Structure 1
Amino acid sequence: MLSKLVKDSWMLVRTDISRFRYGFLLTLVFTLYMSGIAAIGFFGVNRSEEHFSVIKWTFDFTVLLALPSFGFFFSSRSTRFMKEDTYTKWNMKLRTLPISLQTIVTARIMHFFLALAVNFTLFFGVQYTIQILGADYFNNELVFTLNNSATVLLILLAYSIVTGTMYITMEVSKQGKTYAWFTWGYMVVISIVTGVISYSGGSILASIMVVANQYAWIGGVIALIVSVLAVGLGYKTMFRALRRRDFV
């Protein structure tokens, strides 16, 4: 039963990626671009000694806004959801097919984690590459080491998973305009939070680096627990939302 669920879910994911293969390539380009900015930003944030730094604010805001998008591949469906309500139409189509709700939800989560795996691998690969190639420019000052990399990865993944599951829940339960308002609202919240913290002299991402360097095991374990709970809660929430939604 489980093997059939996984097989059917993967078939949906594979079909979706094949259909929007150019969007997949565009996603890789976007991830490369964000990875380059992040590589420079991590170094700049760690060295900034100003009480309030526009660099800290901009970097925190940009990366925290971009990380959840690593769980998605670009497609015409994701770019037209507000104007044409493409997510509602797609979910409506799936509900008319002889496909179980478990398969639909599992496929969406598999799609999300596949995108996360691809984009995070590329993201951290670029971080290490730029750090190594630019060793002379950065005075051999390593931002990512073998000791802190796993913890940083787990913390950023936990954040992406928690935020991403909220996005997916909105995707399957609400109309396109409501989803758009949620996205804009989240941008405003992130902007305010990062702005206040930066004005106070802090930085969210710099704090993550401190946790990774000083409390690696604790930080990693907590992040892992949060990720597992987010996936479990997200699955149940999406299943209930899709089951109760009236597409008529």
Structure 2
Amino acid sequence: MKYLLIEDNLDLAAAVGDRMRLDGHVVDHAPTLGDGADYLNVGEYDLILLDIMLPDGDGRRFLERHRAAQNDTPVIVLTARSEVSDRVGMLDLGADDYLTKPFDHAELQARCRAVLRRRAGASQTVIKRGTAILSPVASVLRIGEVEVTLRNRELRLLELFMNAPGQIFSKSKLVDRLFSYDDTVTENAIEVYVGRLRKHLEPSSVTISTHRGLGYRLDER
């Protein structure tokens, strides 16, 4: 998954980003609301982690504008405010969840997973397409009795395909979803990861097909 972290505390942002990357996620860090808006204008994110008190404004107004623009990207608010009225107000503005600082990183990761499951309309912790069953939390692909442990980007790429069967993803779109803006990478890297996934999926009833000039799609055989 690709996260946008809008947080001006550089130490906290570094700690959150490092933990999320260890879990296989891509994280772009914006220290101001303006930077956050710029990231959203040029890229797509699965989840936004939003601080409230930022140098250039109030995160609540950012959240309000985000929802008014019909942007349904999930938002988890990170706040030092513990009053019930503040939390209720943020939920009413469109936040999907909130976490009061200081927080445990394991709880933040669990809340991210829960919000993403709810947004996908599913409470299960696995994704099934044909005979392929993916467990994102365990980083395991199961086909019959065979289990394959996936590397981080293999996992995130397969998760992206399995969450949108039948949708064609261009190489540039996949680069955007799998890598942060700080990464130096070419579209050839996508060919490598797709090739690895195809080998893993060979015993299953699904495959990743190539659509010349368009990109890749997950199909059932």
TM, length-normalised to structure 2: 0.26
- Of Structure 1 and Structure 2, which has the larger fraction of its residues in helix? 1
Return the structure number with greater strand share: 2
The TM-score with structure 1 as length reference comes to 0.24
